[in-house]
Each structure stands twice: as structure tokens, then as C-alpha cells.
Structure 1
Amino acid sequence: MRSRLRTVVLEAGTPAGKLYNIIVFGAILLSVLALMLEPDPFGNTALRQTNVAWIDAIQNICLAVFSVDFFLHLYVSERPKRYFFSFYGLVDFTAVLFFFVPQVRSEILLWVFKFGRILRVFKLLRFVDEARGMGQALRTNARTIAVYLFFVVMLQVVLGYFIFVIESVNPNTQFKTVANGVYWAIVTMTTVGYGDYVPQTSLGRLLASVVMLLGFGIIAIPTGLLTVSGLKDHQSRQAVRPEACVACGRRGHRVDASHCDHCGTSLDVDVAAEL
């Protein structure tokens, strides 16, 4: 029974697995929708009376689905402890835990749980295959990206100091401290441009133009790194196993697949039996 449940819960390519994933996926969408429409997501007594009954009903249904999903993953996992402390395990756990926020009376815990309730949206990542590729790309380029971000931070500090010095000649300058300059450099380089700090001198405006142009490169470089890494990962996943499933005859399984994506039969066991 555990093997069959594992096929349903973990193998999204099987008919039963697809149905299971559709149910969980639908529950996630309903839960996020209910959270957005709920007038009192954090348990304020004054607003609680205005809650709509159908929103509470949806939340209870989603809680039941998430609870079953979490405990099923624990049950079918070969290493339950490892699953529990994995990213998806913690997301599944918090998706259940933070339903009980309105019952929390401790102010400190309540503020922690207030922000934690939105974590349930990360359950959607499990259904996006590209999310796994993005995660792999980030891990592969982690050191390069870390060095790059460190360089960007240092550049922001230098540019912030420059704009502070340049604008200090203006008696009506808005840049009273270097911190104001660093904030301006970040806002300008990311092309956000709030407009709360504006250079008044000609040299300051020239520097602002340079910072704006630098912003395009700042965004493009990490994007290129992740794109190249993602393409390599995608190409590696295009490889398929040569053998067919002995139960249904389906071919074209991914090289990392352990079960048939049509009927759920174990590919490794069946291949060994054939040999």
C-alpha cells in the first residue's frame, strides 16, 4: 500500500498522480484566494465579525487537504526526517500551522505567524518544473552570484559617496548624509526612481545618467548566468531512458525517472527482471 501511495503522491505523470496534484493545486489556489478576500486574516476581533462564512469554509477544506498532503508525504517518504526539514517539507508544515493564527494569543507569536501565512503560496513551486531548474541554476552559480552581489553593494556605496560629495556644494542639497546617497544610488541603479532624492547640480545629473545606464548591466549579468545554466539543465533533462515499460509499453521516460509516467510501474525493478 505504501508503494502505491508513493506512486500517487510523488509520481505526477500517472493518472492517479495527476488527479492528486490537481486536487492539491486547486486547494492552494483557493487558499490564496481566500486569504486575499478575507477581511480579517490576522485575527483582529473588531474585524472578525465581518468574515464571510464561505471563506471560513474554504479555509477549513484547504486545511484538510494540506494536512492530508503533509502526512502522506511523511508516510511515503523513505526519509521522513529529511523531508520534514527540506524546503518543501517546511512549506507544507507551515501551510498547515499558520491556519491556526487566529487562535494565537501571544503578540510576539502572532506577528511571526502573520507573515508566515503567506508562505503557503510557495507550495505552488512544487507544480512548476522550471522552479527546480531555477533552484539548480542558483546553486550552480551561487559563488559567482555572491561575489557579483558583493561587488554591486560596494559600487552602490562608492556611487552614494560620490553623489553626496558632488551635491554638497549646493546649499539646498537633499543629500544630508552618505546614507542618503547610497539609498539614491540603489533606487537609481534599479531604475525605480522614487524621486525623493534628486541631484540639483549638472555634475550630479551626469552621474545619475551613468548610474541609470549601469543599472541595465547590473540586471542583465545575473540574468545571463541563470539563463545559460538553465539551458544546460534543460538539455540534460531532455535525455530519455531507452527501455520501455514492460507493463504498458510506454517509452521516452526521463533518465532520472524511477517509475513509468503512464502506469506507475517501477522501471528499475522491471528492467532488472527482464535481465
Structure 2
Amino acid sequence: MDNTNETSFRHRLHEIIFEADTAAGKGFDVILIVSIIASVLVVMLDSVASFRMAYGDWFYRIEWFFTLLFTAEYILRIISVKKAKGYIFSFYGMVDLLSILPTYISILIPGSQYFLVIRILRVLRVFRVLKFTQYLIEVNQLRKALASSRRKITVFIFTVITITVLVGSLMYVIEGAENGFTSIPKGMYWAIVTLTTVGYGDISPQTNLGQLLSAMIMIFGYGIIAVPTGIVTVELSRAQPEGATTEVCRYCSKEGHDADADYCKYCGGKLNP
């Protein structure tokens, strides 16, 4: 196969595998999504003892069928892109790889095949298949809001960790080992459970002073829950919506490009060579 034919073949393969604008591409993605859902259902059913006893051999064969199918698809994706590294280390590339590894690892480590449920993440491609570009716009807004608020959230988390260390240490001193607070880490565990208003109840203060501190932490927890929500909400209101397409770059395998873009905004590669 000469260079021209090879380029044409790779371009056609890329259109079918990565794009959803053609009938072939849309059909490929629909079949892929159905296969992903079916494979995840098989893994889930295999975890049920009664089904495993009755149909374990069939589940094993079906699981390997889907794994080999997805392995072939993964190889074809690498072949179809111009820069394989861009796809391999992209979000979807990593998910695609992780979705086939557990079956091979299960040969050496029995039981690891149940991690195949990560395949459900691949269904995110449904946004491309059904042309839900509006959803892609919202995803981009949320991503930008989270990126813009990462410093504030980091400071918030550091503050919460500091509070849990202080409160956990106080409860260790106040309650002591006789009431279940056998160490500062144990006190920190209680502080986290109480501060987040989860309240497992597996450990609780027994002294009056400990219960007073516990009540204060619970009330404080209700107020502190609203902080990260407010931070992200403010950044969401600042994020401006941008038009986006479902087109995937053949060089870096990223999507979410502007509707009128001729070149990839991430690597500069031409979108429609």
C-alpha cells in the first residue's frame, strides 16, 4: 500500500471510528455503545453467585469476546490517528486501555476482571453519537468553572483538614481511649464524619464537654458544606458559553472545538485536511 492509499485508508478509518457525522461513523459508535453496555451487564451478572454458578462458563466466554473486540478497536484507534501518543494519553485513550486490561490481568490475579465496569465510562461518547453539542458546551463551562476555582477549593480543603486535626486532637484528649478515641487519627476520623454530617455512629463522645464540642462541629458542618458549592456557582456564572462541535482532532484526539474552527485549538493541527 503506497503512501496515498495508506493516508486515505487512515483518514477513512478515522472518520468511522472517531467521527459521528457520517452514517458509518454513527453506526460504529452505536454498535460500540451497545457492546459496552452489554459487557458491563455481563460483568455485573457474573458477580451474582447464583448466576455465576449457572452461567459462569458462558460469562467467561462472553467476557473474553468483548475484551478481544475492544482490544481490536483500541489498536484500530491507534492506527487511525496521526499522532498515537496524543490518543493514548488522552482521557478517552486511558479509559479505552483500562477497559481491556482487567481481563488480561485476571489471568494472573483472579477477580480483577470485575474492574471491567470502568467500561461504562466509554458510554460518555453518546454525547458525540447523538450530536448533543449543547451538552458539550455545558461540560466545557463546568470544566472551566472547576479550573478557575481550584485555588479557592484547595484553600478550603486545607482549612477543613486543619480543623479536623485540631478537633480530632481535642476529642482524643477530652474523651480518651475508654470512650473509643484511642488515637488522634481515630479522633480525626470522627471529626471528618461529624463535620460532613454523615454521622456513622460507630464512635461518639460520652462526656458533657465532648458532646458540646460535637454539637458545635455538627452545626459548623452544615454551614461549611455551602462553601465549595458557592465557589463553583460563582465561577459558573462567570464562564461564557462557547459554541462547540463533536469533531475530533486527528493529531491530539481532543474535541470540543469552536464551530467555525479550521485548526485544532490544542495542537494546531488542521481539522479538515
Normalised to the residue count of structure 2, the TM-score between the two structures is 0.70
Query: Residue 184 of structure 1: CA displacement?
Result: 0.5
Conserved 8 A contact 1:39-1:51: no
Conserved 8 A contact 1:8-1:16: yes
What is the alpha-carbon distance in structure 2 between the residues aligned to residue 91 and residue 30 of structure 1? 17
Counterpart of 2:226 in structure 1 is 220
Counterpart of 2:258 in structure 1 is 255
Confirm or deny that 1:22 pairs with 2:25.
Answer: no
Query: Residue 179 of structure 1: CA displacement?
Result: 2.0
Structure 1 segment 174-193 matched on structure 2, within 5 A: 174-193=180-199
What is the alpha-carbon distance in structure 1 between the residues aligned to residue 207 and residue 175 of structure 2? 6
Structure 1 segment 97-136 matched on structure 2, within 5 A: 97-104=101-108, 110=109, 113=112, 116-127=115-126, 129=136, 134-136=142-144
What is the alpha-carbon distance in structure 2 between the residues aligned to residue 186 and residue 136 of structure 1? 29
Q: Which amino acid aligns with 1:211?
A: I
What is the alpha-carbon distance in structure 2 between the residues aligned to residue 213 and residue 103 of structure 1? 51
Q: Which amino acid aligns with 2:37?
A: L
SS in 2 for 1:2: helix
Counterpart of 1:205 in structure 2 is 211
Normalised to the residue count of structure 1, the TM-score between the two structures is 0.70
Query: Residue 17 of structure 1: CA displacement?
Result: 3.0
Confirm or deny that 1:82 pairs with 2:82.
Answer: no
What is the alpha-carbon distance in structure 1 between the residues aligned to residue 45 and residue 145 of structure 2? 35
Conserved 8 A contact 2:45-2:52: no
Query: Residue 28 of structure 1: CA displacement?
Result: 1.8
What is the alpha-carbon distance in structure 2 between the residues aligned to residue 68 and residue 227 of structure 1? 42
Conserved 8 A contact 1:160-1:179: yes
Confirm or deny that 1:91 pairs with 2:95.
Answer: yes
Report which stretch shifted further, 223-232 or 194-203. Answer: 223-232
What is the alpha-carbon distance in structure 2 between the residues aligned to residue 50 and residue 101 of structure 1? 24
Conserved 8 A contact 2:17-2:77: yes
Counterpart of 2:241 in structure 1 is 236
Structure 1 segment 118-197 matched on structure 2, within 5 A: 118-127=117-126, 129=136, 134-168=142-176, 172-197=178-203
Gaps of 5+ in 2: 1-8, 128-135, 246-255, 263-269
Query: Residue 156 of structure 1: CA displacement?
Result: 0.7
Counterpart of 1:67 in structure 2 is 71
Of residues 29, 32, 35, the one that matches 2:40 is: 32
Percent identity of paired positions between Structure 1 and Structure 2: 34
Residues matched between the structures, number: 238
What is the alpha-carbon distance in structure 2 between the residues aligned to residue 141 and residue 218 of structure 1? 16
